[in-house]
């Protein structure tokens, strides 16, 4: 099972290894300035969307922050897919349909 203290330690150590200030990360992720302190003291688990924001900022996987894997690197295929879906979601429904039709034509 995951504990907030372990997650906070992973976040802090990853940020430190990348010379990222926790305060800057929290501001950029629009999180409370005490979020890591609260986690570290066992106060609360981070919400999934907040953990994803932190992982994106630190350029590591959520699985790494949760302790499910020992390597912070993101599978490049998964990273590419994630970037594609971020862009895809910003498109209008009509643009999404058009893009899907193009993709289907390329596969056939």
For residue 76, the model assigns a pLDDT of 60
A 10 A CB-CB count for 98 gives 12
Same domain, 83 and 59: no
Please indicate, yes or no, if residue 54 is contained in any of the structural domains: yes
- The mean pLDDT of 22-30, rounded to a whole number, is 94
Domain enclosing residue 86, as ranges: 76-107
Regarding predicted confidence, which is higher, 37 or 71? 37
CA dist 58 and 53 (Å) reads 9
Q: Tokens for 37, please give them.
A: 């302190």
Total domains in the chain come to 2
Please indicate, yes or no, if residue 71 is contained in any of the structural domains: no
Half-sphere exposure of residue 65: CA atoms within 13 angstroms, side-chain side: 27
Same domain, 60 and 81: no
CA dist 55 and 89 (Å) reads 20
- pTM attached to this predicted model: 0.67
């Amino acid at each position: 099972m995951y504990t907030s203290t372990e997650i906070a330690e992973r976040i802090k150590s990853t940020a430190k290894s990348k010379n990222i200030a926790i305060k800057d990360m929290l501001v950029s992720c629009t999180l409370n300035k005490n979020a890591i302190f609260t986690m570290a003291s066992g106060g609360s688990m981070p919400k999934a969307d907040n953990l994803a924001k932190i992982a994106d900022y630190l350029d590591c996987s959520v699985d790494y922050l949760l302790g499910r894997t020992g390597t912070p690197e993101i599978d490049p295929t998964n990273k590419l897919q994630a970037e594609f879906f971020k862009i895809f979601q910003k498109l209008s429904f009509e643009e999404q349909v058009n893009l899907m039709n193009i993709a289907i034509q390329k596969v056939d």
